[in-house]
A and B are shown apart, each in its own frame.
Chain A
Amino acid sequence: MGGIFEPGVMIIWGMVVVALVIAMRQPGARLRQGVMRGADMFLVNGPKIGVAILAAGFISQILPEDIVAAWLGESAGWQGILIGCAVGPFFPGGPLVIMPLVLALLKAGAGVPALIALLTAAATWGLHRIFMFEIPMMGGRFTALRLVSSIALPPLAGLLAALLVQVLGAPAPGH
């Protein structure tokens, strides 16, 4: 639990070091700019992430685990993936809303394939973004073209995730 020298942490910080070296070699104040942006992001998002974790922790306590597990659990198979696809497009807003909810569902026993289908559906068919941005900016025809092109992606992602889980086992619960 939570050691500093775990692979996940090492990979991220290794990439940070590479980016730092690249930024240092570039002309101008790239290094300073980048570090400032990172610090800025942390200051602006840190408190939100903190309360999001709090909310997710409490919500997962009251989510009915038997129902979540039966509908979205690994054993729910196709059904879980389809439910994920159906629910995803209705999730409002960006990652700020979706990620904590997915975390709460994960804690309450939802399976990885269903959640990956849900996240893919939210990303590719998200109604909120389609109506707020895509149709106003790109027009209805382009939007229709993109939607038709990505109609199969969420179930496909769920299916691929189910295959991964079958071959590699379920991912270790991060926390």
Chain B
Amino acid sequence: MRRPKRSRAAEAFGPSFWVFAGFAGIAAWAVWELKGIGAVGEALSGDLDVLLFLLPRMIGGMLLAGLVQAILPPDLVAKWVGEDSGLRGIFIGAVVGMLTPGGPMTSFPIVVAFYMSGADRGALVAYLTGWSLLGFHRTLVWELPLLGSEFTLYRIAAVIALPILAGLIARRIPLRAVGPGREEDGPTAGSRRAGGEA
């Protein structure tokens, strides 16, 4: 989350920008070769339509994502999943996962923290599944603008119950391995290093 002002332009026009630009260039060339200049123009005007459609959604979505991040204090989040178990723990895990912004650099350190503080494994699985399937941040910033609101609503409806299902299954699996700090196989030094990055 630290983002010094100077590097913003560097981040915006970083490697992924150029990779996409490269893909766009190669694909444009291929379209021209295969289908002629008319198809290139067709694709461009389609892109313009998409962009005009997106802008009001994208700006609103990102503003919303930023505000939710500012409103939700992280300590409160840790308390919710850390202490509880039972169906409520799974449910809370799933919801908190959905509310966790950012990529794996944010979510995995949180999971490690939950794990260390004794969270139930069903809640942990529900958390990770909720975050990866329904993370509001990703949905607002990427899915809604690119794939449209109807597709997004269909997908949300199709997967909304799955984090809880995964949590319930995780609890039934007879694998004794998951106990905070007891197993060699638990969170490792690497996770503590990466934890500082969140």
Contacts and interface: CB of A to CB of B under 8 A. Distances in A.
A9 interface: yes
Contacts of B60: 9, 12-13, 15-16
A41 B28 contact: no
Contacts of B63: 16, 19, 34-35, 38-39, 42
Contacts of B54: 49, 53, 175
Interface string B32-73: 001100011011101101111110111111111111111100
A144 B188 CA distance: 16
B183 A42 contact: no
B147 A106 contact: yes
A142 B124 contact: yes
B132 A124 contact: yes
B188 A136 contact: yes
| Contact residues of B: prevailing secondary structure | helix
Interface string A106-144: 110000100110011001101001001110111111101
Contacts of A116: 154-155, 158-159
B62 A42 contact: yes
11 contacts: A9-B57, A12-B57, A12-B60, A30-B70, A44-B12, A58-B27, A142-B177, A160-B159, A161-B155, A171-B150, A174-B150
Interface residues of B, number: 98
Contacts of B21: 51, 54-55
A59 interface: yes
Given A38-B65, A49-B146, A145-B121, 14 more contacts: A12-B57, A23-B71, A44-B12, A54-B47, A59-B23, A62-B31, A62-B35, A116-B155, A120-B133, A120-B162, A133-B108, A138-B191, A139-B185, A174-B151
Contact of A1 (B34, B49, B56, B115): B49
B87 interface: no
Nearest to A36: B66
Contacts of A165: 154
A12 B140 CA distance: 9
B12 A46 contact: yes
A133 B103 CA distance: 11
A98 to B, nearest CB: 8
A164 interface: yes
A171 B132 contact: no
Interface in B121-143: 121, 124-125, 128-129, 132-133, 138, 140-143
